A and B are shown apart, each in its own frame.
Chain A
Amino acid sequence: MKLKRTNPHPSTHEIQEHPALVRIAHWMQALAVIIMIGSGWRIYDSDPIFGYYRFPIWATLGGDPMQSKIAHMDPGVANALNWHFTGMWLLLASYLLFMAQGIISGHFWRHLLPVTPRSVIRDFIAAATFRLPHRLGEYNAVQRAAYWGVLFSILMMFLTGLAIWKPVQLSWLTALFGGYPTARVLHFLFMAAICLFIVVHVALVILVPKTLVAMVFGRASHPIHSKEPPPYAEK
C-alpha cells in the first residue's frame, strides 16, 4: 500500500550519522579536554589566580596528594604538569583531525552555517522556554553558535597556553594577549567557557540520548513525531 507523504523528509525517521573519523576525533578530544581541565585545576590550585579559591582535590587530576608528597615532594603538581603537557599533544592531534574532517568533508559549511545573531537569539528564546524541538542530524542556531564557540575556545586555549608556556621564545604572542599574567587569566577564562559548553552539551545528551548512540555507534534514528500520529495526508 502506497502512502502519500506531505512531510518534506525523505524518510519517516530522523537520522543522525557520524563518520568513524568524526567519532574517533570526538572521543579523543573529550578525553584530552578532561585531562587538560583536571590537571589544569590541580596546577591552578598550587597558585590560585582568584583570591583563595581552589578546586576540590577530587575534581582534579594529579594523584593522591599524600602519595605525591613522598614521590614528588609536592601535592601532585608534577603529576598534573605531566598530564597537562602530555594531554596537550592528544588535544592537538584530535583537534586537528576534527577540524580537518569538518572542513574537508564540508560538514562545517553544510550543517554549522549559516548562523546569524538573529537566528541565535530566536532559537535561544525557544530553547529557554523548552519549545525548541531537537531533530537528530540537524543543528539549530544555538547549537551552531555553541559548536563554533567551543572550537574557537579550544583554539584560544592553544594560543593562550603557548603564550604562558613560551613567554620568551614566543614573546610576541604573549604581548598580543597583554603579557604573561593577563594571558594566564585568559587561559583560565577560555577554560571556563569550555566548561560551560560541556555542562550544556552533556545535559542535552541526557535529554536526547539518541545523540550519544549516534556518537558511539555512528548512526541513530528516531521516528518522526513518534508520540503523535504520522503526518500522512488525509486523502
Chain B
Amino acid sequence: MPRNEKKNRTIPLPDKPATERPRLLVDVDRRKFVRNGMSLGALTLLTGCDISDNDVVQQMFARVSRWNNFVQEELFSETKLAPEYPESMAVKDFRYNAWYQAALAPVIKASAYKLELAGLIADKRPWGVQQLYALPQKSQVTRHICVEGWSMIGKWTGTPLKVFLNRIGADTTAKYVGFVCADGYYESIDMPTALQPQTIMAFKLSDDLLPTKYGFPFKIRIPTKLGFKNPKFVTAIYVTNRNPGGFWVDRGYNWFSGI
C-alpha cells in the first residue's frame, strides 16, 4: 500500500518532543463553557417559577403529610422517654414565641379562670386553678424543639395529662385529645402521646408559676412533640374520635409533628 504510506508520512507523530507542553484542555473549551453555561442557565430559569402555592401541589402536600402522620405514629413508642438533662442545663430566660407580641398575651385572672371539659369525658365539671394545683406534680428538664429549628432546654413542673384524664373519667380508647386556648389558639394530639408519662399540664417554668406570656395558668408540655404542639393558656380540654386539627396544622403544618 504505497499510497497509504505516503499519506501517513505527512501526519505528525503522536509522540511530541519533550520540550512541547501538552495541550491545555481548558483553552479549547473556554468559549464553549460560557455558551453552554448560558443555555443551562436559561433552562434553570424556565423551571425557576415557584409552584408551592399551586392547588395541585398543596393537595399533594396534604396527602404526603397524612402519610407522614402514619409513619410517625408507627415510629412513636409510648414507653420511649424524651432525654432528660441535669437541672443546671435548664435555661432561665426562656425564649418567647408566638404570632403576636408578648405584651398582647391574654391576661387570665386565677379567680375567674375555669378549665372546661367536653367530649368523651365522664365528669365534665369545670376545674378551678386551686383544684388543678392540688393535683400530684412532677418536674422534667427536657428539650423544647421548635419547627423552625431552634431548641432550648427548660424545667417544667406539672401534672401528667394521663393522671388528669383518668381523674375526669376520659375515654382513653378515643383517638384524640383537643385543647382550646385563651388566645384563639387550638391544638390536638393523638391519645398515645396524651398518655405518655412526660406529657404534662405544666404549671411552672423554672420553678416559678407560669408567667402570663408563657401560658398562665398552664400549658401542655409535650417533650415528644415540636414546640407548636404545646398549647398555652388552655381553657378547655376535650376527647374525641374526630381529628380536631390545630392552629398551625390548619395552615399547612404537619399534624403529628412528633420528635
**A-side interface residues toward B, CB under 8 Å?**
1, 43-44, 46-47, 49, 61-64, 67-68, 71-74, 76-83, 85-86, 89, 130-134, 164-169, 171, 175, 180-181, 184, 202-203, 205-207, 209, 225, 227-229, 231-232, 234-235
Q: Determine if A202 and B40 form an interchain contact, defined as CB atoms under 8 angstroms apart.
A: yes
Q: Which residue of B lies closest to A57 (CB)?
A: B50
Q: Determine if A78 and B259 form an interchain contact, defined as CB atoms under 8 angstroms apart.
A: no
Q: Determine if B50 and A232 form an interchain contact, defined as CB atoms under 8 angstroms apart.
A: no
| Least CB distance, A99 to chain B, in whole angstroms | 21
Q: Determine if B25 and A169 form an interchain contact, defined as CB atoms under 8 angstroms apart.
A: no
Chain A residue contacts of B4, Cβ below 8 A: 1
Q: Determine if B259 and A62 form an interchain contact, defined as CB atoms under 8 angstroms apart.
A: no
Contact of A206 among B40, B64, B145 (CB under 8 A): B40
Q: Determine if B14 and A82 form an interchain contact, defined as CB atoms under 8 angstroms apart.
A: no
Name 21 A/B residue pairs within 8 A (Cβ), A-sorted: A43-B149, A49-B149, A62-B50, A63-B52, A71-B53, A79-B53, A81-B254, A85-B68, A89-B64, A131-B24, A168-B81, A168-B223, A168-B258, A169-B75, A169-B259, A171-B80, A205-B40, A206-B32, A232-B8, A234-B5, A234-B8
B164 is an interface residue with CB less than 8 A from chain A: no
- Give the distance in Å from the alpha carbon of A133 to the alpha carbon of B148 in the complex: 46
Known contacts A133-B25, A169-B75, A180-B143; is A67 also within 8 Å of B53 by CB? Answer: yes
Q: Determine if B8 and A168 form an interchain contact, defined as CB atoms under 8 angstroms apart.
A: no
Q: Determine if B36 and A209 form an interchain contact, defined as CB atoms under 8 angstroms apart.
A: yes
- Give the distance in Å from the alpha carbon of A14 to the alpha carbon of B223 in the complex: 59
B46 is an interface residue with CB less than 8 A from chain A: no
| Least CB distance, B10 to chain A, in whole angstroms | 9
- Give the distance in Å from the alpha carbon of A72 to the alpha carbon of B146 in the complex: 17
B77 is an interface residue with CB less than 8 A from chain A: yes
Q: Determine if B145 and A180 form an interchain contact, defined as CB atoms under 8 angstroms apart.
A: yes
- Size of interface on B: residues with Cβ below 8 Å to A: 53
| Least CB distance, B225 to chain A, in whole angstroms | 9
- Give the distance in Å from the alpha carbon of A205 to the alpha carbon of B150 in the complex: 38
| Least CB distance, B84 to chain A, in whole angstroms | 11
Q: Which residue of A lies closest to B50 (CB)?
A: A63
Instruction: Give 16 A-B pairs besides A68-B53, A169-B76, A206-B33 with Cβ atoms closer than 8 angstroms.
Output: A46-B148, A63-B50, A63-B52, A68-B52, A78-B252, A79-B52, A79-B53, A79-B61, A85-B68, A166-B259, A167-B83, A168-B224, A180-B143, A202-B40, A207-B29, A234-B5
Chain B residue contacts of A130, Cβ below 8 A: 24-27
Known contacts A72-B251, A79-B252, A131-B24; is A169 also within 8 Å of B61 by CB? Answer: no
- Give the distance in Å from the alpha carbon of A165 to the alpha carbon of B16 in the complex: 60
| Least CB distance, B230 to chain A, in whole angstroms | 14
Q: Determine if B147 and A77 form an interchain contact, defined as CB atoms under 8 angstroms apart.
A: yes
Known contacts A85-B254, A171-B83; is A73 also within 8 Å of B143 by CB? Answer: no
